Amino acid sequence: MERLQKIIANRGYCSRRKAEELIQNGKVKVNGEVITTLGVKVSEKDEIMIDGNVLANEQKEYYLLYKPRGIITSTKDEKNRKTVTDLIPTKARIYPVGRLDYDTSGILLLTNDGELTNALIHPKNEIDKVYVAKVKGFVTPVYLKALSNGVIIEGKKTSKAKSKLKKYDKKTNTSIVELVIHEGRNHQVKKMFEVLGYDVLKLKREQFGFLNLSGLKSGEYRRLTPKEVKVLYSEMKKN
């Protein structure tokens, strides 16, 4: 027996958080009965319906996308802008693991594996994410150290990070900084620089855990290999 929201997520319908919203909004039935309480446990033999449709058990799919700037990290957009799922032709209900801002490019995972998604975005797993930011001005060693030690964002200090100045262009007065973090707070990298007085002109996520963008151009994607999926699961189990 498993919690209803977990089974919905594991079958690839949506994330666990979204499944909880569906349950609370009365969209889910189990064996013909509307369920609105979180925590109800069901078995694989129980019939689950969402919005009148029987929930099937989809085959798991895993993708690595080089997200371009100007694309929404979502499955749909109210303004009909292009989303990351529009870039991957599949009939499976895949959704992004975490998010990248509209104007941020880089590595993004998409899957219909709710269990893995939940594990990857859980703060306790502390997955390193490597960002490269182009910022206005010269980022001094003092401020690089501040980024590494953590800065206060919205009343809470960011965790220890790694920062490195890769390049400074005197002509344009811009710095290229590599920042490695393991948190996933909203707009975190931009806010970390802004707290120190720097405007982020361009931002790219180059690495997610052991995965990188090698061999991909902006807008391209590939399936994760079975070995890569296995490594992701094994890394999660260590924590």
Q: Where are the domains of the chain?
A: 2-54, 62-123+211-238, 128-208
Which residue positions in the chain have pLDDT lower than 50? Answer: none
User: Architecture of domain 2-54 in CATH?
Assistant: Roll (3.10)
* Architecture of the domain defined by 62-123+211-238: 2-Layer Sandwich (3.30)
Q: Give me the pLDDT at residue 239, please.
A: 57
- Res 79: pLDDT: 87
Cα(9)–Cα(14) distance, rounded to whole angstroms? 5
Neighbouring residues of 202: CB distance < 8 A, sequence distance ≥ 6 = 133, 134
Largest Cα–Cα separation, the chain? 68
Q: Which of 87, 16, 97, 86 is nearest to 62 (CA)?
A: 97
What are the pLDDT digits (tens) for 122-150?
777 778 999 999 999 999 999 999 999 99
CATH architecture of 128-208: 2-Layer Sandwich (3.30)
Which strand (E) or helix (H) includes residue 226?
helix 226-238
Alpha carbon distance 47, 9 (integer Å):
15
Kindly tell me the sign of the dihedral angle through the C-alpha atoms of 115, 121, 123, 126: positive
Q: Which pLDDT belongs to residue 190?
A: 96
Q: Which residues are catalytic?
A: 101
What is the pLDDT, as a whole number, of residue 88?
97
Quote the pTM value: 0.81
Q: Tell me if 14 sits within 8 A of 22, measured CB to CB.
A: yes
Please check whether the two domains, 62-123+211-238 and 128-208, share a CATH topology: yes
- Residue 192 has a pLDDT of 97
| Distance separating alpha carbons of residues 14 and 17, to the nearest angstrom | 8
CA pair distance 10, 37, nearest whole angstrom: 19
Looking at the DSSP bridge assignments, the partners of residue 41 are: 3
- Residue by residue, DSSP assigns 168-209 as EETTTTEEEEEEEE----TTHHHHHHHHTT--EEEEEEEEET
pLDDT at site 118: 81
